[in-house]
Amino acid sequence: MHNGYNYLIFCLLLHHQTKKEVMSHSKHVIAPSVLAADFANLHKDIQMVNESEADWFHIDIMDGVFVPNISFGSPVMQAISRHAGKPLDVHLMIVDPDRYLQTCKDCGAEIITVHYEACTHLHRTLAAIKELGCKAGVALNPHTPTHLLKDIIHDIDLVCLMSVNPGFGGQKFIQHTYHKIAELRAMAAGINDALMIEIDGGVTLENAGRLLKTGADVLVAGSFVFNSATPLDTIKALKGIDPSRQEI
Ligand code: DX5
Ligand code: ZN
């Protein structure tokens, strides 16, 4: 009887963890970018990600001002959230992101990432994200140096290094990203060892191993996953990489 009760508690805890445990992971995280999904068939693609070995949904919100493209807004994010069985990792490519933090939370975001270049008061913005109970991320454009995060690195849960210029999927990976991963890891060492480094843009099986070996934890992949013939296998292959066996 007692054992049965303990087992029930264990199952409940496990279930609770499934969607909620965002940051504690033993392995790297794969976050397919919904931007590359079939928008006329979103439910099918969401189900595919639910059934895959992917960990998060990466949601790109673009306003046509911060970036030269418009993606989708809160009604679509809400619809995705209703069907997504994994955490929503929301990447805000918008000016004045503070205006939309509550909306993101209401739409089911568990991680909210704002751009360094879009925040005059980054410290305040990160505090507001945490106040909502979300993990706080900061994205850096390819031209933005990592050292600008030095005085706030201890307050960040995730740094998203843009490995393409934000705004579009399907672009070519920028090689300099490797240096930025190493710089960030060195900067966070001993101060914020739990910091997650996410790579966003042009991720493929060709660069994923080296990115992980250099210190990345989260790989966002849009077109490489959704344009592949067998997305489930592509996700499995990205998830299955063993960084310790990579040569740099
Ligand atoms: C680019 C977006 C990315 C994009 C990645 O502005 O932030 O998340 O969807 O797409 P791929 O993987 O196709 O480069
Ligand atoms: Zn993104």
Write out the H or E segment, with its range, that includes residue 184.
helix 177-188
**Three-state DSSP class for 30?**
strand
CA distance 190 to 182: 14
Q: Which residues pair with 6 in a beta bridge?
A: none
Is the minimum distance from the CB of 226 to ligand 1 under 6 angstroms?
no
Pocket test for ligand 1, best of 29, 33, 91, 218 (most atoms within 8 A of CB): 33
Mean pLDDT of 35-56: 98
Mean predicted lDDT score pLDDT of the chain = 92
**Is the model's pLDDT at 54 over the cut of 80?**
yes
Task: Give the pLDDT score at 247.
Answer: 78
Cα 38 → chain centroid: 19
Q: Which atom of ligand 1 is nearest to the CA of 36?
A: 9
Is the minimum distance from the CB of 137 to ligand 1 under 6 angstroms?
no
Six-digit token pair at 89? 């990792």
Q: Which residues are catalytic?
A: 60, 200
Helix 205-214 to helix 231-239 angle (10° resolution) is: 30
Task: Give the pLDDT score at 219.
Answer: 98
CA-closest candidate to residue 157, choices 187, 198, 116: 198
Is the minimum distance from the CB of 223 to ligand 1 under 6 angstroms?
yes
Task: Give the pLDDT score at 188.
Answer: 98
**Is the model's pLDDT at 238 over the cut of 80?**
yes
CA-closest candidate to residue 158, choices 67, 49, 242, 56: 56
Task: Give the pLDDT score at 245.
Answer: 87
Mean pLDDT of 40-65: 98
Q: Which ligand is nearest to the CA of 221?
A: 1
CA–centroid distance, residue 59 to ligand 2 (Å): 7
Mean pLDDT of 171-181: 98
Q: What is the tens place of the pLDDT at every residue in 199-234?
A: 999 999 999 999 999 999 999 999 999 999 999 999
Whose alpha carbon is nearest atom 4 of ligand 1?
169
Pocket test for ligand 1, best of 65, 200, 227, 234 (most atoms within 8 A of CB): 200
Contact 97, 121 (CB under 8 A): no
Task: Give the pLDDT score at 12.
Answer: 43
| Predicted TM-score of the model (pTM) | 0.91
Contact 45, 34 (CB under 8 A): yes
**Is the model's pLDDT at 63 over the cut of 50?**
yes
14-49 CB burial, b ≥16 within 10 A, e <16 = eeeeeeeebeeeeebbbbbbbbbbeeeebeebbebb
**Number of other residues whose CB lies within 10 A of the CB of residue 208:** 23
CA–centroid distance, residue 120 to ligand 2 (Å): 21
Q: What is the tens place of the pLDDT at every residue in 116-155?
A: 999 999 999 999 999 999 999 999 999 999 999 999 999 9
Q: Which atom of ligand 1 is nearest to the CA of 223?
A: 13
CA distance 188 to 223: 30
Q: What pLDDT band is residue 21 in, cutting at 50, 70 and 90?
A: low
**Three-state DSSP class for 8?**
helix
Is the minimum distance from the CB of 166 to ligand 1 under 6 angstroms?
yes
Q: Which atom of ligand 1 is nearest to the CA of 34?
A: 9
Is the minimum distance from the CB of 32 to ligand 1 under 6 angstroms?
no
Mean pLDDT of 61-85: 98
Q: Which atom of ligand 1 is nearest to the CA of 33?
A: 9
**Is the model's pLDDT at 104 over the cut of 80?**
yes
Task: Give the pLDDT score at 37.
Answer: 98
**Is the model's pLDDT at 14 over the cut of 90?**
no
CA–centroid distance, residue 80 to ligand 1 (Å): 17
